[in-house]
Amino acid sequence: MSKQDGAQEQVLAQLAAVVGCCAPLAREPLTAEQSVELSRVFKAMGDPVRLRLLSLIASHAGGEACVCDLTDVFDLSGPTISHHLKVLREAGLITGERRGTWVYYRVRPDLLAQVSAVLVPAAPDSPAAMPADRDALPVVDA
Amino acid sequence: MSKQDGAQEQVLAQLAAVVGCCAPLAREPLTAEQSVELSRVFKAMGDPVRLRLLSLIASHAGGEACVCDLTDVFDLSGPTISHHLKVLREAGLITGERRGTWVYYRVRPDLLAQVSAVLVPAAPDSPAAMPADRDALPVVDA
DNA sequence: CTCGTGGTTCGATGACTGTCAAGGTAGATG
DNA sequence: CATCTACCTTGACAGTCATCGAACCACGAG
| pLDDT per position as a tens digit, A50-108 | 999 999 999 999 999 999 999 999 999 999 999 999 999 999 999 999 999 999 999 99
Q: Which residues of A fall within a CB distance of 8 Å from B121?
A: 58, 107, 109, 112-113
* Cβ–Cβ below 8 Å for A48 and B36: yes
At residue A87, the 3 state secondary structure works out as helix
At A3-53, the pLDDT tens digits run 444 445 455 555 555 555 567 888 889 999 999 999 999 999 999 999 999
Taking a contact as any Cβ pair under 8 Å apart, which residues of chain A between 9 and 68 contact chain B? 20-23, 25-32, 35-36, 38-39, 42-52, 54-56, 58-60
Question: pLDDT band at B86, cuts 50/70/90?
Answer: very high
Chain A partners of B115 at a C-beta cutoff of 8 Å? 119
Residues of A in contact with B117 (CB under 8 A): 116
Q: Decide if A37 contacts A19 (C-beta within 8 A).
A: yes
Measured between CB atoms, which of B59, B131, B132 is closest to A29? B59
